[in-house]
Every structure is written in structure tokens, then in C-alpha cells.
């Protein structure tokens, strides 16, 4: 699937990730050939924000900046470093269109660190309110804790990225005003779960992303463990469309429209 003039947008990708940053010309050329000509970047750390700013100089409005402290980064840092990161985020957030990705990750061994993650998550939510920024959430195996924090300041503008939870959990985020973004990880969901999840998300609240270079879709021709790329977005849309009875182009166009409403 391709488009003669790239117009679709990848709702979440890490073009500033060192694994692909130095080979970006080829990555972007393939993306444009697939019809994906804009990219919402995903914030990880202060170093990542600087690479995003460099990409902005190079690509202009083709990229959407998102600054945030990723929970994985928070886990790895000392309290002094996280405090410094929050101070830098407060200073630099006006340069970004979104705050993210922020969140909580309680998967396996990370569960023990939720007590450390939660205060940083809550402080970033306060910054989102202070600067009126939509949020991009990373929530894994910590929905109860995240929703408790979000409810305290609802409603919200933004989305939950790479969502793989249940239809019931999606409904709660939707009730808080958020959109649901599905990535390559959705191609690995059981058929029944995926169908139920897609049925629970209204067309005007669904976003599509790759989460490149991670979350490579489980599709024919893509090797397990391969780096993901924005060029895979139409294939993800095609897979999802098969389970909700929609044309992939319709899903991609709706995702674009939904992102534009948030921004």
C-alpha cells in the first residue's frame, strides 16, 4: 500500500532513538514511500529531547515534538537526576506540542519500582496542566495506579500509546477524555481480544502508531526481533482493518484527523 503524496502520520515513533538516528535518511525515505510523511516523536529523556530539537530543525513541521520522562528512564536514575529532569522538562516543555511519554510500567521486575515511578508521573501530570499540553501515556501492568492519578485531574487531552489492555480498561481511559493508540503490538493480540478492543474504540478516538524502532508487527515478511519502522504503519492498519471491517486507508485517514484535533 502506498500514497502518491505522503500524508499519513505515525502517532508514536522514536526517530531520535540511537538505533536508527544515524540511518534516518533511509528510514524516512521508506516511510514516505509507504505514504507516511509525518511523525509524532516520543520523548524519553533530556538527551532525547535535544535530538528531537535537532530533527525539528531538519524536518520542520513533518515532526511533532513530545517531551517527557519515560518510566524506564525514571527507574534507572537517582532521585537527584529525576529532580533535574523534571526541572529541565518544566523549562523546555513550551518547545514541545505534547508531554510524553510519561507513565507507569509494572511489568515483571519493574513492578517493584512503581513506588519510585508514581511521584514522577504525578509531577509530570501537573506540568501538563500547567502548560496545557496533551499527554502521551505509557501504561503497562499498572492501569489501576495510573487511572487513580488521572481521575484526580480529569478530563484529559491526549492518548494512551501502544495500548494492549482490555476493552474494559480502554473504556475507562476513553471516559477520561483520552484516545487509544494501537501499535504493532496489537498484531500479537488474540483475535477475540483484538476484535472486542476495536469494537470498544469509537472511530474518532482511535490512533495508529508503530512505536518504531520497537514493537515490530507480527506480520508476514517481518522477522521476529527486527527493528520496526514507520513504513510499517499501513500494514498495521491493514491488519486492524481486517478485524473491524474497515479499509486500511479509512483507518489511516481517521487517525490523521484524530491527531490533528488533539494538536
- Chain segment 127-157, per-residue pLDDT in tens: 999 999 999 999 999 999 999 999 999 999 9
Band of pLDDT at residue 225, cut at 50, 70 and 90: confident
Contact (CB, 8 A) for 257 and 11: no
Q: Which residues contact 41 (CB under 8 A, 6 or more apart)?
A: 13, 14, 15, 16, 52, 55, 63, 64, 65, 66
Rounded Cα–Cα distance for residues 72 and 70 (Å): 5
DSSP state of 228: P
- Please write the tens of the pLDDT for every residue from 95-110: 999 999 999 999 999 9
Band of pLDDT at residue 54, cut at 50, 70 and 90: very high
For the whole model, what pTM was predicted? 0.95
CATH 3.20.20.140 applies to domain 8-262: yes
Q: What are phi and psi of 15, to 5 degrees?
A: -65, -20
DSSP state of 227: P
Contact (CB, 8 A) for 24 and 47: no
Query: Beta strands 36-41 and 63-64: pairing type?
Result: parallel
Band of pLDDT at residue 1, cut at 50, 70 and 90: very low
Amino acid at each position: 500500500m502506498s500514497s502518491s503524496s505522503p500524508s499519513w502520520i505515525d502517532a508514536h515513533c522514536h526517530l531520535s532513538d540511537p538505533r536508527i538516528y544515524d540511518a534516518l535518511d533511509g528510514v524516512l525515505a521508506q516511510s514516505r514511500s509507504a505514504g507516511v510523511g509525518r511523525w509524532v516523536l516520543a520523548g524519553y529523556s533530556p538527551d532525547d529531547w535535544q535530538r528531537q530539537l535537532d530533527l525539528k530543525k531538519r524536518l520542520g513541521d513533518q515532526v511533532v515534538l513530545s517531551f517527557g520522562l519515560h518510566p524506564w528512564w525514571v527507574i534507572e536514575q537517582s532521585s537527584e537526576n529525576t529532580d533535574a529532569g523534571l526541572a529541565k522538562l518544566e523549562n523546555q516543555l513550551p518547545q514541545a506540542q505534547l508531554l510524553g511519554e510519561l507513565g507507569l510500567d509494572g511489568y515483571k521486575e519493574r513492578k517493584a519500582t512503581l513506588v519510585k515511578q508514581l511521584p514522577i508521573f504525578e509531577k509530570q501530570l501537573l506540568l501538563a496542566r500547567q502548560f496545557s499540553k496533551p499527554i502521551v501515556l505509557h501504561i503497562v501492568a499498572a492501569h489501576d495506579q495510573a487511572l487513580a492519578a488521572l481521575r484526580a485531574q480529569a478530563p484529559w487531552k491526549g492518548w494512551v500509546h501502544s495500548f494492549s489492555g482490555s476493552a474494559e480498561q480502554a473504556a475507562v481511559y476513553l471516559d477520561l477524555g483520552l484516545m487509544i493508540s494501537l501499535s504493532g503490538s496489537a498484531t500479537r493480540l488474540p483475535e477475540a481480544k483484538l476484535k472486542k478492543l476495536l469494537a470498544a474504540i469509537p472511530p474518532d478516538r482511535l490512533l495508529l502508531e508503530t512505536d518504531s524502532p520497537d514493537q515490530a508487527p507480527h506480520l508476514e515478511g517481518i522477522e521476529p526481533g527486527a527493528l520496526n519502522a514507520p513504513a510499517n504503519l499501513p500494514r498495521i492498519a491493514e491488519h486492524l482493518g481486517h478485524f473491524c471491517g474497515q479499509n486500511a486507508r479509512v483507518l489511516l485517514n481517521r487517525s490523521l484527523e484524530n491527531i490533528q484535533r488533539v494538536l
